[in-house]
């Protein structure tokens, strides 16, 4: 471990977000934001998620501009493989007609994958660098400098992604079915009798709300647990190396899988929302 404080403090430090909030005395950070509630922002989650989103955009745009019809380079071949993989899944799963679904699915898959892959960075590297910068340039004790580099371990990020999907579900439901059709879907299923309208409405509303909630909690739960295990392994000191390697190898499969599941469920939910009947 990089420092001498207790394992509990070590784990707590690594799982704490760099927070900024507004208080009666002005802008405050970290511990001073304990009572800020909803009106606070996690600077590290926002910074890393936006930064990785820009990496995705710049990388794919660069490859698209340099694409050739001849023998493709390694990067072009990789990007084409990812695009074809996503496109095949969209064509086989989404049964409506929309020019948005394929690029949306590609963005979701690659963006979440990049955020998940931050979980493979050794857990002490980024906090240690951040602590050094905080001490040298801002005079802040390194124990009070936080930088959680895996955005998908923040429930606010996964809920934000899921909320975007939920808005699209409502948009496609209203667009394809109309207000009357969508209302009928919520009130006349699964029991097609007017006497069951209250029961149907409760059941269908719970089902509708459960979709984005399950998306958010599934991604957050898997990545948070993964990061916690990496931190626990790191707390072992030199004995961590074989365990860290084994857990990292396992996650080479898990991290893309979580991005794929989020993408596929998004396609399925939007496909259901687009069914006119």
Contacts 24+ apart (CB under 8 A), 122-129: 122/234, 122/244, 123/14, 123/227, 123/230, 123/231, 123/234, 124/1, 124/2, 124/234, 127/2, 127/13, 127/14, 128/2
**Regarding predicted confidence, which is higher, 9 or 244?**
9
- Give the pLDDT band (50/70/90) at residue 163: very high
Token pair recorded at residue 54: 């820009």
Q: At residue 169, does pLDDT exceed 90?
A: yes
Residues in the chain: 277
* Structure confidence at residue 70 (pLDDT): 77
Token pair recorded at residue 122: 């050794």
Q: Which of 232, 277, 225 is nearest to 255 (CA)?
A: 225
Q: Which residues contact 231 (CB under 8 A, 6 or more apart)?
A: 10, 11, 14, 15, 123
**Regarding predicted confidence, which is higher, 100 or 6?**
100
Collapsing DSSP to helix, strand or coil, 13 comes out as helix
Single out the catalytic residue among 22, 61, 62, 214. Answer: 214
Active site residue 218: yes
Single out the catalytic residue among 3, 89, 142, 218. Answer: 218
**Regarding predicted confidence, which is higher, 52 or 13?**
52
Single out the catalytic residue among 17, 130, 222, 226. Answer: 222
Q: What is the pLDDT of residues 93-140, one digit of tens each?
A: 998 788 899 999 999 999 999 999 999 888 889 999 999 998 888 888
| Cα–Cα distances in angstroms (integers) from residue 142 to residues 121, 128, 130, 132, 138, in the given order | 20, 8, 8, 7, 10
Give CA–CA dist 77/63, Å, rounded. Answer: 10
Q: What is the pLDDT of residues 55-68, one digit of tens each?
A: 999 999 999 998 88
* Structure confidence at residue 2 (pLDDT): 45
Give CA–CA dist 226/115, Å, rounded. Answer: 13
Is residue 148 within 8 Å of residue 44, measured between CB atoms? yes
Q: At residue 177, does pLDDT exceed 90?
A: no
Sheet holding 40-42, edge to edge: 26-29, 19-23, 40-42
What's the pTM? 0.90
* Structure confidence at residue 37 (pLDDT): 64
Active site residue 61: no
């Amino acid at each position: 471990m990089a420092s001498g404080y207790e394992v509990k403090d070590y784990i707590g430090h690594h799982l704490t977000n760099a927070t900024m909030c507004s208080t009666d005395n002005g802008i405050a950070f970290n511990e001073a934001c304990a009572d800020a509630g909803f009106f606070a922002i996690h600077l590290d989650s926002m910074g890393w998620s936006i930064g990785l989103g820009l990496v995705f955009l710049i990388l794919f745009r660069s490859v698209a501009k340099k694409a050739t019809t001849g023998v493709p380079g390694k990067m072009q071949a990789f990007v084409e493989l990812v695009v074809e993989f996503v496109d095949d899944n969209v064509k086989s799963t989404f049964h409506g007609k929309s020019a948005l679904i394929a690029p949306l699915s590609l963005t979701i898959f690659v963006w979440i994958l990049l955020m998940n892959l931050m979980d493979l960075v050794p857990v002490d590297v980024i906090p240690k660098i951040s602590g050094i910068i905080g001490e040298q340039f801002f005079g802040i004790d390194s124990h009070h400098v936080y930088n959680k580099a895996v955005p998908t371990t923040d429930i606010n990020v996964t809920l934000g992604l899921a909320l975007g999907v939920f808005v699209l579900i409502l948009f496609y439901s209203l667009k394809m079915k109309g207000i009357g059709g969508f209302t009928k879907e919520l009130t006349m299923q699964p029991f097609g009798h007017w006497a069951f309208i209250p029961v149907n409405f409760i059941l269908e509303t719970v089902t509708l709300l459960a979709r984005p909630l399950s998306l958010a909690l599934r991604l957050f739960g898997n990545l948070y647990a993964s990061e916690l295990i990496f931190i626990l392994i790191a707390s072992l000191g030199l004995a961590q190396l074989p365990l860290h390697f084994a857990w990292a190898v396992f996650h080479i499969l898990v991290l893309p899988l979580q991005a794929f599941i989020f993408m596929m469920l998004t396609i399925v939910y939007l496909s259901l929302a687009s069914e006119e009947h």
